[in-house]
Structure 1
Amino acid sequence: MERGQERVVALVDMDCFYVQVEQRTNPELRGKPCAVVQYKTWQGGSIIAVSYEARAHGVTRGMKGVEARKKCPDLQLARIPEAHGKANLSKYREASAQVMGVMSRFGVIERASIDEAYLDLTAASQEHLRQVEDGWRVPAGLLKTTFVEGINQPHPAQGSGDMGDTAALKEEERRAGVQAWLDSLPPHCDQDGPELQLTAGALIVEQMRAAVAAETGYRCSAGISHNKALAKLCCGLNKPDRQTLLPLGSVPRLFDTLPIGKIRNLGGKLGETIAELLNIKYMGQLREFPESQLHAQFGEKTG
């Protein structure tokens, strides 16, 4: 796990991208429960994207429109246009190109899908650190949408509470975690230090996401860590419109309760096979097996 700490990698994921595109086309949909459907109109079509307002009512991808409206009567449905019997994704691809164009100014980009991209921020982070003086200190306000995974434990649940109380508590925990992380950074600017490089990467991603929002109107979430798998993993921890920094020291505790299928490339048959053959459920358990045994059981490349 300690290999590759010199790298800074981010995964940026557009929040409910198809919904956002439809909301930009029709601003009346903003702030309302809505979903995007495609193909057959039978039973309202098949839902492929759901706004967070609709998710709160139990609407999920894969539902039919009619079924979803039973859970959320006010649900607004937007339909993907068709051309020659196929879904016409032109406006979504154009929106994606706009977003990727902004992101490419901040790092080396690798598109993962229409609404996701990886960025190698290693060089950009190192250059950022080269330009600062010794004794570099980051104001916590510059990391205003950043969570640092594993730095502080959530407070115990205090009754049911309402959504406002929950959001305020989460924001309090976020700020405390960021400040604790910044306080833990070495007093001198060691450009090779993985903690400082990740922090510089998080600053760059904050700037990039703000630029995407300002120039395109689209919101996105991000994960920042040392490789693609960890960046992908932490990107989904604090959506929407937030980013999560995952330092190497926080990975073991996160893995202790993380199902194997949640890891990139282990969500299908391979993950099921690993869990069955090794009689385990969590990534933390997989960590207990020596690399030689994994190579012997699953082949050198996969192991």
Structure 2
Amino acid sequence: MDNETTTTYRKIIHIDMDAFYASVEQRDNPELRGKPLVVGGPPEGRGGVVATASYEARKFGIRSAMPSKKALQLCPHALFVRPRFAVYKEVSQKIREIFSRYTDLIEPLSLDEAYLDVTDDKLNVGSAIEIAKQIKQAIKDELQLTASAGVSVNKFVAKIASDINKPDGLKFIGPSAIEAFMEQLPVEKFHGVGKVTADKMKKMGLHTGADLKKLTQDELTGRFGKVGKFYYQIVRGVDERAVQPHRETKSMGAEDTFAYDLTTVEEMNDELDKIAQAVYNRLLKYNLKGRTITLKIKYHDFRQITRNQSFPFPVGDLETIGNTAKQLLLASGIDDKRIRLLGISLSNFGEAAVKVKGDEVSEQLKLF
């Protein structure tokens, strides 16, 4: 009798909503459909920042994190709307309810994307591809939105796959196709490789996964540090990371970028009160207290500093959060300083921390 070993693969789906914020706005306001839409801060005054853009706007080169003024230059007839995070969060919860029909192994990455492990699905569908199709259809039927899905045997490849046929796409990359797929992949498409690292790789003559594959693990770690080991494994299709439905909260905070620079302590304290309230509300929701309060300050010239204060016991009351932030502000020396952003966060939860399921607890007031 032949001794044969059967490899058991995980079934991983990565779901990524298509232009999520913009799609919700176009769904809720028919007048915005089919038009170049930017969700973010308005271009007036000093200008805000693009949170996301509809596909109609992306054709003009508009991208997330771009200054709204630049977006307007690229597309003078673009329409700008401020984000409605409460609405997006509500829609996100409904999307996760759809996910939970098939599995409890859901790892949210943000309001608009998540990993699902459907190796053993609740409905005994059996096929990850079929589950992805059903999820996409349910999102379309119940929420009038579209999502793209990537299906593979690990998280890394599934995430890359979900981006291949956007919008409203579905891409399966099976075990036998993974190595060839990774070899032809440009290094800038590797999830986790930013522009700086990609440029560094190209200067070394490393343009594709096939180029990375020629290097030993020691050579990769020598050039890129600890992450070199990850590159060595992933270019061979190896990613053992499990889908984690419970993620420990490391920090929780809120911040705001202002339409005009703040120049007086009174203005700054007023804004800190609002931000402290937002942080307090989130701490209350998740029953969290932290030992370290951190203040983030960004000046008009984009120079950024942080100041923090730690306590011997967990704190989480509104008064302590607000007062500590104000004290840290004064101690930072703000005379004649113009401030464009303030933020407050709590960390060092220790035993007081809870594990949060299915929520983006670090969601900020954002850039508007």
Quickly name the TM-score band, shorter chain normalised. 0.5 to 0.7
Change over 3 Å in CA distance of 1:253–1:94 after alignment to 2:
same
Match of 2:177 among 250, 259, 274: 250
Task: Report the Cα offset of residue 271 of structure 1.
Answer: 5.6
Q: In 2 relative to 1, CA 265–66 (structure 1 residues): closer, same or farther, beyond 3 Å? A: closer
Q: Any residues of structure 2 matched to 1:46-85 within 5 Å, and which?
A: 46-80=49-83
Contact 1:12 1:221 in 2 (8 A): yes
What amino acid does structure 2 have at the position aligned with 1:113? Answer: S
Query: Could you say if the C-alpha distance between residues 245 and 218 of structure 1 is closer, same or farther in structure 2, counting changes exceeding 3 Å?
Result: same
The normalised TM-score by structure 1 is: 0.64
**Cα distance, 1:90 vs. partner?**
1.8
Q: Give deviations 1:29-69, integer Å, cap 9, x for gaps.
A: 12221111137742653212111111223333344444433
Q: Greater helix percent: which structure?
A: 1
The aligned counterpart of 1:99 is 95
Which of 210, 219, 244 is 2:146 aligned to? 219
Residue identity in the other structure for 1:236:
D
1:282 and 2:208 aligned: yes
Q: 1:11 touches 1:228 (CA, 8 Å); kept in 2?
A: yes
Structure 1 57/280 Cα, relative in aligned 2: closer, same or farther at 3 Å?
A: closer
The question of whether the paired residues in 2 share the 8 Å contact of 1:259 and 1:282 is answered with yes
Shift of the alpha carbon at 1:128?
3.1
- What is the alpha-carbon distance in structure 1 between the residues aligned to residue 214 and residue 122 of structure 2? 33
Q: TM-score, normalised by structure 2?
A: 0.53
Aligned twin of 1:263: 190
Measured after TM superposition, the shift of residue 212 of structure 1 is 1.4
275 and 121 in structure 1: CA distance in 2 versus 1, 3 angstrom threshold: farther
**Structure 1 stretch displaced more, 38-47 or 241-250:** 38-47
Residue identity opposite 1:92 in structure 2: Y
SS of aligned partner of 1:12: strand
Question: Of the two, which has the highest radius of gyration?
Answer: 2
Equivalent position SS for 1:221: strand
Aligned partners of 1:298 and 1:17: how far apart in 2?
34
Q: 1:210 aligns with which of 133, 137, 141?
A: 137
- Does the aligned pair in 2 maintain the 1:21–1:92 contact within 8 Å? yes
**Greater relative contact order (Cα 8 A, min sep 6): structure 1 or 2?**
1
The answer for unaligned runs of 5 or more in structure 1 is 82-88, 130-199
Amino acid at match of 2:101: R
**CA 1:252–1:55: 2 relative to 1, 3 Å:** same
Report the Cα offset of residue 227 of structure 1.
0.6
8 Å CA contact 2:42, 2:80 repeated in 1: no
User: In structure 2, how many angstroms separate the alpha carbons of the residues matched to 1:271 and 1:120?
Assistant: 30
- Amino acid of the residue matched to residue 214 of structure 2? E
Whether 2:128 is the aligned partner of 1:201: answer yes
Preserved CA contact (<8 Å) 1:39 1:80: no
| 8 A contact 1:9–1:120 mirrored in 2 | yes
- Superposed counterparts of 1:13-52, under 5 Å: 13-38=16-41, 41-42=44-45, 44-52=47-55
Shift of 1:279: 4.1
Tell whether the 8 Å contact from 1:46 to 1:64 is kept in structure 2 after alignment. yes
Structure with the bigger percentage of strand: 2
Change (3 A) 1:271 1:40: same
Cα 1:16–1:5, aligned 2, differ >3 Å: closer, same or farther?
Answer: farther
**1:115 partnered with 2:139:** no
TM-aligned CA deviation for residue 210 of structure 1: 0.6
Query: 1:26 & 1:202 partners in 2: Cα distance?
Result: 32
Counterpart residue number, 1:188: none
AA aligned opposite 2:139: V
Contact 1:46 1:62 in 2 (8 A): yes
Over 3 Å counting, the alpha-carbon distance change for 1:23 and 1:67 in structure 2 is same
Note the alpha carbon deviations across 1:237-281, whole angstroms, 9 max, x for none.
1100111111233334433432223212233666666666x6422
Matching of residue 90 in structure 1 with residue 86 in structure 2 = yes
Map 1:127-138; keep pairs closer than 5 Å: 127-129=124-126
